Structure 1
């Protein structure tokens, strides 16, 4: 089962190059050799090695939100979606306690958690995550797009269409440099390509 979201390389690049501070929630810098090696491995797409080192970082400091987030990214990149969702959930719980992530980083975390559940074949869990994200961040376009994907997987066409429309209504609110994809290219929507209402909406959105 596929699920929609911005591609992992784009999210990973955003995390690496948009000011992720390597410090724990108490403000102590984490710029030691292990953290730097883990980031370099991640940057070079050596996800198995990076997973090992980010796990070590989370064992050393269980409160490190960033280490948990990057661990989830490493697992996701290796298609270990169930394990990735566990790490992303842990990162989300830590963020609730410590509030260290920027708005964009919180959006990435929510995107990846929802996508991990979706790719693991758990669209109902993805839906819960996304609906909570919408309540907290109602402007972010990808929340609605991912919710549309979840409804597509659940066979709820009308709700799917409503949320595709809402996603494009909020299309100006995306991560820097990113834009919503053509829904016709997403695997979650493939079974609707000949649906009259889906075609009508695509035409209204300018996809012809």
Structure 2
């Protein structure tokens, strides 16, 4: 399954700027989606289904070497702007991986993603590919979510994730990213804090609230002052 970047979606409500608010002292407040799943044991059936999927994809790549070439990921592009990468990571951390819940036992690893990884690492056999990925399968993961969606986030390093995972921006993250590009204070004043509230799409229940800067990330206990 593939998710297209929502670059043209309507933007969420504008950020609540509070630079002059002595009570809060946040540069801005944003809202994010929220992962609502519970953590359970990652059973063997998930691993078997993932291996079967890898086998299918590897055979397809072997028989169709003309598949699309690897595309540079957003996180590679951001490597020249580490502050931006850090702040986007903090935003996603607050959400907890709402977009990961559709990946199942495929981890969104399509032919393009796997072909690029196979070429980069000079992988020549399915067994090599299985060993590479299966060592990252976490013991615990979120129920009905990606096999690699562990308690503390994705267990895969960025360079092993799919292009979907590395390039996708939900509308809320996209809005936050464009805010960073249009304002200098979050990148130049490292003591400035952003506040993010992660809410359920369905019940509107608040799951997490965080405040962060480039150098610090903190989750607030629910029930504290807004």
**TM-score where L is the length of structure 1:** 0.27
**Structure number with higher relative contact order (C-alpha < 8 Å, ≥ 6 residues apart):** 2
Select the structure of larger CA radius of gyration.
Answer: 2
**Richer in helix (by share):** 1
